[in-house]
Structure 1
């Protein structure tokens, strides 16, 4: 009897940890549960060109249904065509989904590059393209070496699950802010830039938006003071 009790004491922390992990709500599950209702309301809002309502619906979906869930361990390909898993990245993740036909706003990529150069020691920056690898390699030249560029090639009939979840569910470009456990802290859409905006104005707008997201969701409290002091110094 004592041996049984001792074994339970030794192994129960592991069992409880496994049980806790199994109880996680994953992004794919949250989408399955809440996306249909959102899409129905969003389509109606866009039909009547009520863009403010559509934005409110997206924010509500993120804040009340998707934030707090855990991103699935999706598989991508590196520029060397090697399989890469999301969970291979051990730091908090700043993930943006793109496609070659998406035209970034003025200053958008330079702002992202600047942030990656500044915070790559604390955060893994990932740009995910839905494209042919040849196209992705050309696009990758626009990004800092501190940004991990990965892709999913739909023409190869692979990665159907990740495509459905990350591309066709919320559209693109979309930004996912994940803590180091891959828990979703926030999901955002990049700030829009008008044709009248200068490259400098667009850069500043995107830089502020990225930094606000990072400082609010991805940087531990004890590091925020250092970031604030560095920003003031700059």
Structure 2
């Protein structure tokens, strides 16, 4: 009886160890595929083949990054306590910006509306690649339903997230993560709002764009967790 019990325990231990070893984290997947991607991407952009460059990024995401485990980053939240991504027990929608980047008209109000609508079922996070002092003129524009975070090369503890996300995926970029912290999608997004678009129209356009993206990601997350994929 004791011998059988020992066998079962050892079997469970090795199975658990194997499962842990097979987890691929986003940062590792990026590191493993970055050189090949950058070489092809730089060649495409040198030839001014913008469409090819976009296709290469989308291919990297689809074939290598979707399905990886999002790293348990420790995020510094503006005027709040730091938060670790693994402690957020619901899907996460991340958008990365920089304070010097001109955010298109209507984009922030649209995100504020969506964050309030999804307050109970999703966490919105905005990460600025800046120091805390750089956010004083923009952080207040976001709803309290959105965690406004910052990370910068000048902060020693930010080296991992800056190297893994900012220097590889670029920005503005959106990242959708399911409740189990699996990467569902990563996307470069371009504003469809023209400079002279009236503010109400700009908000509606941005709202529709992000709402469609979020809903598609939610459907894909549920589908993958149930064991089938929707193309």
Under TM normalisation by the shorter chain, which class is it? 0.7 to 0.9
Tell me, in whole angstroms, the C-alpha distance in 2 between the residues paired with 1:164 and 1:81.
24
2:101 aligned partner: 102
Counterparts in 2 of 1:56-135, with a 5 A limit?
56-80=55-79, 82-135=81-134
1:203 aligned partner: 203
Tell me, in whole angstroms, the C-alpha distance in 1 between the residues paired with 2:140 and 2:184.
29
Q: How far 1:114 sits from its partner (Å)?
A: 1.0
1:180 aligned partner: 179
Compared CA separation, residues 121 and 11, structure 1 to 2 (3 A): farther
Q: How far 1:15 sits from its partner (Å)?
A: 5.3
Q: How far 1:26 sits from its partner (Å)?
A: 0.9
Tell me, in whole angstroms, the C-alpha distance in 2 between the residues paired with 1:103 and 1:57.
26
Q: How far 1:186 sits from its partner (Å)?
A: 0.4
CA contact (8 A) 2:152 2:162 kept: no
> Structure 1 length as normaliser, TM-score?
0.84
Tell me, in whole angstroms, the C-alpha distance in 1 between the residues paired with 2:33 and 2:8.
40
Count of paired positions? 221
Structure 1: give runs of 5+ residues left out of the alignment. Answer: 223-234
Tell me, in whole angstroms, the C-alpha distance in 1 between the residues paired with 2:4 and 2:178.
37
Q: How far 1:22 sits from its partner (Å)?
A: 2.6
Q: How far 1:215 sits from its partner (Å)?
A: 1.5
Tell me, in whole angstroms, the C-alpha distance in 1 between the residues paired with 2:187 and 2:116.
21
1:232 aligned partner: none
Q: How far 1:81 sits from its partner (Å)?
A: 6.6
Moved more, 69-78 or 163-172: 69-78
Tell me, in whole angstroms, the C-alpha distance in 2 between the residues paired with 1:150 and 1:51.
31
CA RMSD, aligned part only? Answer: 2.3
Structure 2: give runs of 5+ residues left out of the alignment. Answer: 224-231
Q: How far 1:46 sits from its partner (Å)?
A: 2.0
> Structure 2 length as normaliser, TM-score?
0.85
Compared CA separation, residues 137 and 6, structure 1 to 2 (3 A): farther
Tell me, in whole angstroms, the C-alpha distance in 2 between the residues paired with 1:212 and 1:13.
43
Tell me, in whole angstroms, the C-alpha distance in 1 between the residues paired with 2:16 and 2:142.
39
Compared CA separation, residues 209 and 4, structure 1 to 2 (3 A): farther
SS of alignment partner, residue 127 of structure 2: strand
1:49 aligned partner: 48
Q: How far 1:24 sits from its partner (Å)?
A: 0.9
Q: Structure 1, residues 45-80: CA drift from partner, whole Å, max 9, x if none?
A: 222322222111111111111111111111221224
SS of alignment partner, residue 159 of structure 1: helix
Q: How far 1:175 sits from its partner (Å)?
A: 0.6
Q: Does 1:35 align with 2:59?
A: no
SS of alignment partner, residue 94 of structure 1: strand
